Amino acid sequence: MDDDTTLRTHAAALREQGLTRRQIMDRLGIDSKYRLNRLLQWEIPPDCPRRARAKDAERERARELRRAGWTYSQIQKELRISQASISLWVADLPKPPPRLSPAEQARHANEVRWEPYRRERDRQRREVLEQAAREAADLTERELLMVGAALYWAEGSKSKPHRRAERAVFINSDPGVIRVYLAWLDLIGVARSELTFRVHIHETADAESAQRFWAQVVDAGAEQFARPTLKRHNPRTVRKNTGEGYHGCLVIDVRRSADLYRRIEGWWYGIVGAATKQSAVG
């Protein structure tokens, strides 16, 4: 940045603060009114009635976009103002390096343009989630009983007419779901010692790390875990469940659980009957 650009920036800042031209000359050590006039030719005192305060928001937005790497043409198209005004507003900002291709610049510009809307959307989403969480915070034992029965019927194994298998086996990849299911088992009197855990995971993933992860979730030792089940890899498919956040699924098997399975089935049919009755009444 040359000396005139630096002085222009300082002079503009002092003018924004309301200093007079004489005060600015003394502060910056300028002895020529002509030079000061050149530095301040586009600046108007803050208290001057001719100051276009309506442009302040556009000026700040232009500077924000320039810092984000936008070109003059992109800013002009976005704000619908002249490039001459833009160049004056952002003259003190460094020129963005030409690191991006035109396609990349367009994508980046689009991201910057939509960022305020995304922030507002995320704020609204958090507000709804927090309100809903407060509504469900006080969970009674009966409500947990119903939640657990419905959760099992959605995610657990079920006996079929062609294959009778009355055994409570539950599988899921969500740690929150697993914790709710375990709390439900505690509620209905199933001892943790009656549980067997097993990791179901892709063969190219880290099965040992996944088992350590699930052991912490369920607070169980390695002796309660059976050998992991590895899913074969199809070379024609592209896996998306990869990375450190991928821990496969956890299978929870309750020993000697035929009677428990029948109770779950009964609870579920009771829920269906009650809900159907309520719907008919409504």
Map out the domains of the chain as residue ranges: 1-51, 56-138, 141-281
At residue 50 the predicted structure's pLDDT band, cuts being 50, 70 and 90, is very low
pLDDT at 235: 66
Burial degree of 152 (CB within 10 A; 0-12, 13-18, 19+): buried
Q: How far apart are CA 122 and CA 81, in angstroms?
A: 30
Q: How far apart are CA 219 and CA 85, in angstroms?
A: 64
pLDDT per position as a tens digit, 102-118: 787 788 778 888 888 88
At residue 51 the predicted structure's pLDDT band, cuts being 50, 70 and 90, is very low
At residue 1 the predicted structure's pLDDT band, cuts being 50, 70 and 90, is very low
Q: Three-state SS for 229?
A: strand
pLDDT per position as a tens digit, 12-27: 777 777 777 788 888 8
Q: How far apart are CA 30 and CA 27, in angstroms?
A: 8
Q: Three-state SS for 172?
A: strand
pLDDT at 3: 66
Average the pLDDT over 251-256 and give the result. Answer: 96
Q: How far apart are CA 121 and CA 117, in angstroms?
A: 6
pLDDT at 269: 94
Evaluate if residue 49 carries a pLDDT over 50.
Answer: no
Mean pLDDT of the chain: 85
**Within 80-140, where are the H helices?**
83-89, 102-135
Do the Cβ atoms of 244 and 209 come closer than 8 Å? no
Q: Name the residue type at position 224.
A: Q
pLDDT per position as a tens digit, 181-202: 999 999 999 999 999 999 999 9
Do the Cβ atoms of 14 and 23 come closer than 8 Å? yes
Higher pLDDT, 30 or 259: 259
